[in-house]
Amino acid sequence: MANYKNLIEKMINSYIISKGICDADIIGAIRSIPRHIFVEESFSELSYSDAPLPIGHKQTISGIYTAALMTSVLELNKNHKVLEIGTGSGYQTAILSNLASEVYTIERIRELSLKSRTILDGLNCKNITFIIGDGSIGFKEYAPYDRIIITACSPEIPKPLLDQLKDGGVMVMPLELDRKQNIYVIRKNSGKIEKKIIAPANFVKLIGKSGFAG
């Protein structure tokens, strides 16, 4: 897609800066990632709109504002070890890879994980470990994590993930409570958990042992 750099600039202005996300590092990361390569070719143009789009297997790539918002609350730096649940297309993973030191990303659908790995290898993202499996139970082997991002909706905060979050760490995820879905920021401080709503949400379900039943 020849004109994608212009489309990225328009997307950044229309859906990110105009909605109050101005962090230069996040904008720099988004500017450097061609979003159309993460969606099917028939959705290439739409990939620079703010809509969630199908990525196969009844799953979606999140809208760009949602991806930027969830990234911004994590306040990432180059020392952070991040766990991502729901690799999906790999687009959010690419943003995390730009901003953090190490990224561990878990996807339950094998084909999506393999496809995203091919794309991210092509972008030369070297600090990502891909895991295929149930991310609702996290991944103890590399715990604890400074930051955790879950891009699928759960009926409760998965306990294994809270256990694998460092003290002082931040988690962001959609939760469905009382039939309403919202994005929550969850902070763990001296073992205490605080949670706060930051936006309404419309994510696919987190399916697994500590999520919804499949």
Spatial separation of the C-alpha atoms in residues 184 and 202, rounded to whole Å: 13
**Region of 4-12, 96-104, 178-186, 204-212 interacting with ligand SAM (CB under 6 A):** 204-212
- Decide if residue 128 touches ligand SAM (CB under 6 A): no
Active-site residue flag, 62: yes
Least Cβ distance, residue 149 to ligand SAM (angstroms): 8
- Decide if residue 204 touches ligand SAM (CB under 6 A): yes
The dihedral over CA atoms of 137, 141, 146, 152, expressed in degrees to the nearest 10, equals -30
Cite the DSSP H helix spans in 33-168.
Answer: 64-74, 91-99, 110-122, 159-164
Spatial separation of the C-alpha atoms in residues 188 and 97, rounded to whole Å: 23
Interface map 148-187 toward ligand SAM (x if CB under 6 A):
---xx-----------------------------------
Strand-pair partners of 181:
176
Hey, how many other C-beta atoms are within 10 angstroms of the C-beta on 18? 11
Task: Give, as ranges, the residues between 81 and 110 that touch ligand SAM (CB under 6 A).
Answer: 85-86, 88-89, 91-92, 106-109
Chain positions contacting ligand SAM, by CB under 6 A: 55, 59-62, 85-86, 88-89, 91-92, 106-109, 112, 134-136, 151-152, 203-204, 206-208, 211
